[in-house]
Amino acid sequence: MSNAQSPTIRSEGSRSKSVPPRESNNTLAYSRTQAPPTVRCAWCDHQFDRTDSYLTGRVRCAHCGVATTSPWPSDEQLSAAYADWYRPQSGRFSGLGDKVLRRTRSALAHRLHRVLPPGPVLDVGAGDGTLVEAFVRRGREAVGLEPYASGPHIRNAEVEEVDGTWSAVIFWHSLEHLRQPARALSHAAALLSPGGTLVVAVPNATSLQARAFGDRWLALDLPRHLVHFDPPALLSKIEALGLRVERVSYLRGGQVVFGWVHGLVGKLPGHPDLYDAIRRSEARQATYGPVLRLYALSAAVVALPFALAASAVEVASRAGGTIYVEARREPGPAGDSREVAGGQVSPGNDAG
């Protein structure tokens, strides 16, 4: 699968380092980047033409339903988007935020640990390693891949560089960050031991909240999110890889209620960004004064009951803000005789 790289030829009058007008919403700010539109779907490789939908900062593929960020960001743009403020050492969120994050990762590890076959777990896009550590605490070997972090169980590598056999490969809100997500998913499926499980959680770009908040929807998150998933496209790809989808949830992927609260607060005059307001001061994109912060947080309290009701409706109608999938590799009749090529990351001896 080729990269969805847009051509590097600059059209007349465009500037490679254009400064967009000041806009607190990163998606809208990015969409004003002067560069040619993305030419290929990053999910199915379809070449875009007049049949596709050209939206703000993204193109929705008529062939597969997945949208690709457009213009396609350069490495420099992505580095800037992942600069230190995104994930500071001290944690991303103030107060309870980081604790809640740790608690939910721990619950996920606990459940998966009980249902997975023996063997190590690979967490692709491991962030600060919270999920990996939760597995390790339960006595299971786990490795996290993350270019923007370090730690005893974290490696700076792409999933395609990994070999060996794994009881689970997890993409927890990371698949949408990859330049070649379909290739990554195919490779991940091939790494699974018989009975091993692929776990994917991504934002649902066709959710009710995505439609309600449009270009200001929290989970568009341009340019960090490169693909914007449509659940049928994700599920059909997973099935095409020979895996059996065993669990689909429109709630378990998290961020559903927060997506609504964030969107409702963002509808207010001045479009306050709640996500920025709850981050620690060193992890904020914009500079938030105490008054603006109080405005956003008070609005969030008022919006919460409405957000809970809206979340219940969208989850019940299977159009929740995130989609979570667990899919298992059937124990094959011919056994597992895959050749293991030399790579940079391998599980330990207890694999399989």
| Interaction of residue 44 with Zn ion, rule CB under 5 A | yes
The 155-184 contact track toward Zn ion, x by CB under 5 A, reads ------------------------------
What DSSP string runs through 65-93? S-EEESSPPPHHHHHHHTSGGGS-TT-SB
Among positions 70-89, residues that touch Zn ion (CB under 5 A) are: none
| Interaction of residue 41 with Zn ion, rule CB under 5 A | yes
Instruction: Give least dist CB 232 to Zn ion, A.
Output: 12
* Cross-strand partners of 145: 124, 155
Instruction: Give least dist CB 59 to Zn ion, A.
Output: 9
Q: Number of residues in contact with Zn ion, rule: CB under 5 A?
A: 7
Instruction: Give least dist CB 66 to Zn ion, A.
Output: 5
Instruction: Give least dist CB 205 to Zn ion, A.
Output: 12
| Interaction of residue 39 with Zn ion, rule CB under 5 A | no
d(CA 187, CA 106): 26
| Interaction of residue 185 with Zn ion, rule CB under 5 A | no
Task: Work out which of 4, 35, 61, 274 binds Zn ion, going by CB under 5 A.
Answer: 61
Nearer to Zn ion, 64 or 126 (CB): 64
Axis-axis angle for helices 231-240, 181-191 (nearest 10): 40
| Interaction of residue 63 with Zn ion, rule CB under 5 A | yes
d(CA 350, CA 329): 19
Ramachandran area for residue 106 (φ above 0: left; ψ -120 to 50: alpha; else beta)? alpha
Instruction: Give least dist CB 199 to Zn ion, A.
Output: 23
Residue 71 preceded by cis peptide, ω within 30: yes
Q: Using CB under 5 A, which of the segments 33-41, 88-96, 98-106, 192-200 binds Zn ion? A: 33-41
Tracing tokens 């031991």 back to the chain, one arrives at 193
* Three-state DSSP class for residue 235: helix
d(CA 167, CA 184): 17
Cβ-Cβ contacts under 8 Å for 85 (sequence gap 6 or more): 282, 283, 284, 285
Contact 283, 87 (CB under 8 A): yes
Task: Work out which of 4, 31, 46, 183 binds Zn ion, going by CB under 5 A.
Answer: 46
Nearer to Zn ion, 136 or 220 (CB): 220
Nearer to Zn ion, 183 or 328 (CB): 183
Cβ-Cβ contacts under 8 Å for 339 (sequence gap 6 or more): none
Nearer to Zn ion, 115 or 235 (CB): 235
Nearer to Zn ion, 63 or 293 (CB): 63
Instruction: Give least dist CB 7 to Zn ion, A.
Output: 19
CA quadruple 121, 176, 92, 250: dihedral sign: negative
Q: Are strands 121-124 and 53-55 parallel, antiparallel or unpaired?
A: unpaired
Q: Using CB under 5 A, which of the segments 37-45, 69-77, 164-172, 328-336 binds Zn ion? A: 37-45
Going by C-alpha positions, the residue among 207, 199, 208, 308 that lies closest to residue 248 is 199
Instruction: Give least dist CB 46 to Zn ion, A.
Output: 4
| Interaction of residue 138 with Zn ion, rule CB under 5 A | no
Binding residues for Zn ion, per CB under 5 A? 41, 43-44, 46, 61, 63-64
